[in-house]
Structure 1
Amino acid sequence: MSLPPRDDERELVERAKYEPPAFGELYDRYFLQIYKFVYSRVHDQAIAEDVTSDVFLKALRGIGRYQDTGRPFSAWLYQIAVNAVADRFRAARPLEDIDAQHDVSVGGPGLEEMAARRDRMSRIWAQVETLPRQQQTALVLKFQEDMKIEDIAIAMGKTAGAVKLLIHRGVSRLRLNLAGGELEEIEA
């Protein structure tokens, strides 16, 4: 009988503290979601790869100090990622927009609808980029990464109430800046 996912994660983290090769399993498990988060913040593949590597290097170096507080291990990784992205932003601003690198595939039913939805989402996320950095991070973790408020709080080093307030203020500001029902796209 296999362990439940959370118990399996705890066991893997404890093994990684004493057996560095076990950290490779954690890396494999969480790399893609951490990379996607970082990429959503920096909008550049090379920078996202560098920052994600830094996140996992810091996690490997700090795994011995990691303490299970009942939250998923990924929340700790997101906390490292939030800090690493902030460090990168202090050093330089991103040069390229993520949407410039993606196309809507040609053909198939509903192409116009897909293009219109993509345009609405682009406008929404462009407005998110105008928000204060803390609000941006909270909105990305909530609506793109689908994290729970408590996990966002851990990742950002804030209370759950502070995260709720950041999200509320961010969404309120977006409502003021966006026309009609565009914002419902992000909340759906």
Structure 2
Amino acid sequence: MRVAGFDGFFRSDFPRLVAFLCAGGLGPGTAREVAVEAFVQETGTWPPPGDPRVAVRLTAVRLAAEQTWFDGGAPTADPPGDRLTSVVERNARGVELLSTLPETQRTVLTWSLDGFSPAAIASALGMAGTTVRSNLRHARERLKQRLGLAGREEALMTELREAEAALVNALRSALDVEEALTRVKTAATALAAPRVPAGRFGFDGPVRAAVEGDPDAAQDLLAAVQPLIVRYCRARLGGADAYSSADDVAQEVCLALLTALPGYRHQGRPFLAFVYGIAQHKVADAHRAHARNRTEAVAELPEAMDLADGPEERALRAELNRQLARLLQLLPERQREIVLLRIVVGLSADEAAEAVSSTPGAVRVAQHRALLRLRSALERRR
């Protein structure tokens, strides 16, 4: 990717954008990832028609809002001890002060400290100029009372601006800006190029032929998606009993897929999203059946010699599956589905986004936050 002026703008603005997102309430690591994704998305229309700083901030704010929604609440903190987190914590005076304000006051003051005029803030946020100025005034009054600076507007603004400058300068030293720029340019190049994910079966032709009744195409299609279906079902049903085993459910998904193929119509969504929808419903049915089942499974004598893994290997694999299932239960439902689709099934961010009716950027941010949460949980258990 080569776009005139982009590299210089990124190097200058990336630390400021991370500081802006931290001031808005995101943890440092999450702010960094959201900032990277915001720049990736903005490269598609670079340069923007207006102020590029406004454009990239509005995209970042949207992504931050989407990732908060995935968590079902306020953003979670980054793991303690992280170097970037430590740097921000040592320069968090401004962030701490802003966090005491109501949401709208915090938002407009964050934009103001980032160098935007009230008119620019009103235009960017779609607010009336009088509303922006009123919230700025109330925010400053609240902070002056908190700091014992009644009547000393200039002293307050000096303190806030110095705190903001200290955070930005600290981030310029702590962030690997060049590595982030490389990530952005690599992702932007990949998004701009027509592609089929590496190693992924090309679905368009076989799907069309299978829908038209070609049995060989249907067999090829099933062979391509079956491993993905099995991995998904095993991840979701690892703890279920023998009557609703993951492989049985995967077989049901495959049969349902073959039954549904003649009526399949392409509606702008990836075929894998259609497959995932069937698998999701079958897994839900299996969970309901398992909840109703009160029988106890007993061992059955094998009909022939088993040449697969021995009892010890099977026990270890079963325990690993149980541990994975317990870890995944720590995640909100939306994050759990995204982790399964991205890591277990192997969907791309675009495909996973289509499957869960979201955007690729929101999927990447949700996956990042989910992995941070799982890593933190593992560290607490050690």
TM-score by length of 2: 0.35
What does 1:1-188 correspond to in 2, within 5 Å?
A: 9-19=203-213, 21=215, 22-43=217-238, 44=240, 47-63=245-261, 64-67=263-266, 69=268, 71=270, 73-92=271-290, 101-103=314-316, 126-179=326-379
Q: CA RMSD in A?
A: 3.7
Q: 2: distance between equivalents of 1:6 and 1:145? A: 11
State whether residues 231 and 344 of structure 2, in contact with CA within 8 Å, keep that contact through their aligned partners in structure 1. no
String of CA shifts for 1:16-52, please: whole Å, max 9, x gaps: 1121523222112221221121111101575223322
Match of 1:110 in 2: none
State whether residues 75 and 151 of structure 1, in contact with CA within 8 Å, keep that contact through their aligned partners in structure 2. yes
String of CA shifts for 1:26-81, please: whole Å, max 9, x gaps: 1122212211211111015752233223322332233223306373x333212321
State whether residues 38 and 48 of structure 1, in contact with CA within 8 Å, keep that contact through their aligned partners in structure 2. yes
Counterpart amino acid of 2:266? Q
Counterpart amino acid of 1:137? E
Q: 2: distance between equivalents of 1:84 and 1:125? A: 18
Match of 1:185 in 2: none
Q: 2: distance between equivalents of 1:31 and 1:139? A: 19
Quick one: structure 1 residues 156 and 87, their matched pair in 2 at CA, closer, same or farther if it must change by over 3 Å?
farther
Identity of aligned residues (%): 26
Between 127-136 and 6-15, the greater mean CA deviation after superposition: 6-15
TM-score by length of 1: 0.64
Counterpart amino acid of 1:30? V
Structure (1 or 2) with the larger CA radius of gyration:
2
Q: 2: distance between equivalents of 1:122 and 1:57? A: 27
Q: 2: distance between equivalents of 1:17 and 1:50? A: 25
Counterpart amino acid of 1:18? E
Query: In structure 2, the residue corresponding to 1:179 is in which secondary structure?
Result: helix
Q: 2: distance between equivalents of 1:179 and 1:125? A: 17
CA shift for structure 1 position 14: 1.0
Counterpart amino acid of 1:14? R
CA shift for structure 1 position 179: 0.9
Between 153-162 and 131-140, the greater mean CA deviation after superposition: 153-162
Counterpart amino acid of 2:335? Q
State whether residues 141 and 152 of structure 1, in contact with CA within 8 Å, keep that contact through their aligned partners in structure 2. yes
Quick one: structure 1 residues 26 and 164, their matched pair in 2 at CA, closer, same or farther if it must change by over 3 Å?
same
Query: In structure 2, the residue corresponding to 1:178 is in which secondary structure?
Result: helix
CA shift for structure 1 position 151: 1.0
String of CA shifts for 1:89-145, please: whole Å, max 9, x gaps: 2333599xxxx93548xxxxxxxxxxxxx97x9756632233233222211222223
Query: In structure 2, the residue corresponding to 1:92 is in which secondary structure?
Result: helix
Quick one: structure 1 residues 7 and 48, their matched pair in 2 at CA, closer, same or farther if it must change by over 3 Å?
closer
